[in-house]
Homo-oligomer: A and B are copies of this chain.
């Protein structure tokens, strides 16, 4: 751009003061209709666009909303890889944010300190925090005046922030009950990480509850952890199951990605699904209905989760004293071809 047009240029062009231009642009009803016209014309003619950086500084509000991803290793790719989950979520978030005139700034949190720094230095109006929430950030974050929405975080702190989640426990319950109803007793639970992933912990609780209700004693030997939700990890676990755990006849995996990897391993070794093994996933990613056999799973509407989360921050930003939101979205059992009666 050769020369940026400032509010003063507009003012001059319209023969008024910068203040009046500002009033008109901000919809502050202080200006006569006549001069308002003149100003709007000048804005058009000069093709003026306000400098948002200056606006931010002046208003102490950036109109930017940050999304912080949990960084496992150094890049986001481990998170996105094999995983429609965060992509879907960010779609929902971006959609709402743009509609409301905000911009979306994303960052992988390298360290809790960096994270905090980021919010403050960038003047982010609000923050969406996805996944596990580092304990040590808790106190410091609370000191910030900007609203923070935690998504999928179950911590003792959860009550102090806005919080969006899915009914993970019920999902685990649904999945397991489905298997139980099919006559299964030897049901493995495959988690991403039982301690680090609060979501998986909830699903596990549902799993346990379903077993107990059915009179089955949950056994630690039926619970497995992989490190990341990926096909590869599922695949490797599938092989491990075949070697070390011949008693298992059904698997409830904490993500479809994992479930599909497990399925692949079992099939490669000549096992039939659902005849030999019943498998249930979680999420209902698109591919689940395209796999052979198609995957029985717990569906959650991730796009909507993003929408709800983003809507929450924006509400919190705009009516500062709204009460804390705690939304738990529902899940649904989708029965497909990867589960069948125990034989």
**A50-B121 contact given A1-B144, A80-B87, A104-B107, CB 8 Å threshold:** yes
Inter-chain contact B108/A1, CB cutoff 8 Å: no
CA distance in complex: A122, B64 (Å)? 10
User: CB of A264 within 8 A of chain B?
Assistant: yes
CB <8 Å contact, B264 and A290: yes
Known contacts A1-B120, A104-B106, A105-B104; A76 and B50 CB within 8 A of each other: no
Question: Are A105's CB and B107's CB within 8 A?
Answer: no
Interface residues of A in 44-103 (CB under 8 A from B): 49-54, 56-57, 62, 64, 74-77, 79-84, 86-88, 90-92, 94-95, 98, 103
A286 at the B interface (CB under 8 A): yes
- In the complex, the answer to whether B49 meets A74 with C-beta atoms within 8 Å is no
Q: Contact: A143 with B82, CB < 8 Å?
A: no
Distance, CA A13 to CA B96, complexed state (A):
43
**A98 with B110, Cβ < 8 A, contacts A76-B91, A87-B86 known:** yes
Closest 9 CB pairs of A and B: A77-B91, A80-B87, A76-B91, A75-B95, A52-B121, A87-B87, A53-B56, A53-B57, A82-B286
- Cα separation A93 to B261 with both chains bound (whole Å): 28
Question: Does B75 lie within 8 Å of A80, measured CB to CB?
Answer: no
Contact A123 B292 (CB under 8 A): no
A residues contacting the other copy or chain, number (CB 8 A): 62
Alpha-carbon distance between A2 and B1 when the two chains are bound, in angstroms? 39
Q: Considering the chains assembled together, what is the distance between the CA atoms of A92 and B108 in angstroms?
A: 12
Tell me the smallest distance from the CB of A131 to a CB of chain B, in Å: 16
Residues 263-320 (chain A) with a chain B CB within 8 angstroms: 264, 267, 286-287, 289-292, 303
Given known pairs A84-B81, A261-B290, the reply for A107 and B98 (CB within 8 Å) is yes
Taking the nearest CB of chain B, how far is it from the CB of A122, in angstroms?
5
Contacts of A84 in B (CB 8 A): 80-82, 84, 87
| Interface, chain A (partner B; CB < 8 A) | 1-2, 4, 49-54, 56-57, 62, 64, 74-77, 79-84, 86-88, 90-92, 94-95, 98, 103-108, 110, 117-118, 120-123, 143-145, 230-231, 235, 260-261, 264, 267, 286-287, 289-292, 303
**A81 proximity list for chain B (CB < 8 A):** 84, 87-88, 91, 286
Contact across chains for B290 and A235 when beta carbons are under 8 A apart = yes
New A-B contacts (7) at CB < 8 Å, excluding given A53-B57, A81-B84:
A1-B145, A49-B121, A53-B62, A57-B57, A77-B95, A80-B90, A104-B106
Interface centre among A54, A83, A87, A95 (most CB of B within 10 A): A87
12 contacts between A and B (CB under 8 A): A1-B144, A4-B120, A53-B122, A76-B90, A77-B92, A81-B84, A82-B84, A82-B286, A87-B87, A98-B108, A104-B107, A260-B290
